[in-house]
Structure 1
């Protein structure tokens, strides 16, 4: 096992150990530091919290915010909630697929990870996307392309 992963997990567990429901804050800490929750972190987490590996794996895979591999340099989150769907979010999904990506995947060159979410809280300005934590509203395929190329402001 990678000593770096183990030390990151144990350090995060020590910080949050006394909190109720500490596993989730520890997972967030691990992902913030490593860019993901790698598979080799699962047995260490299970040991730290006296849980089965299956229990820890279940939590990691249940929550869409956790990933087993680092995200791309740019992370795009496309809102697929009802309001955004009604305003054309499916066109964004088609655009992403035509660009050779699937939702939940990272491009082969590690440049872009595209994820779907089910509300960004920007319903009045849908369809909405979030790019590297920055929220954009009324996004169509052309604007999404421009945002990804870094040629448009909010």
Structure 2
């Protein structure tokens, strides 16, 4: 039960946890398990990528070979196009690893699709995360045309 609580806490506070030395000292299997979670609470997938790169660069000589295993769990297609081109594509570790380049190509293909085609392109990396415990938000936008009904009962 304690392990489950710790896992849930880590998923819900991912953006804070990644700044601690404990994250940087995790083994690759634990990092993969964490970043593969659908319940990971992040505002953007870029945060997951940055955490992965921080983890790899913390001990580059021994961790650079883990890049494809890690990137398999980062949802590159859900990142901003500009970020993919400016950061991910320019990362030397991605450039030199053929499997990582495949993930990059997948993300670029996804962004080339029309909006109505994107839901049909299903891979584990195109599924949005579904964090637990976030409030559901309903956004209502309205207005009034000059000759619209002025009252509603």
TM-score by length of 2: 0.31
Using CA pairs below 8 Å that are at least 6 residues apart, which structure has the higher relative contact order?
2
Structure with a larger share of its residues in helix: 2
Question: In proportion to residue count, which structure has more strand?
Answer: 1
Report the structure number with the largest CA radius of gyration: 2
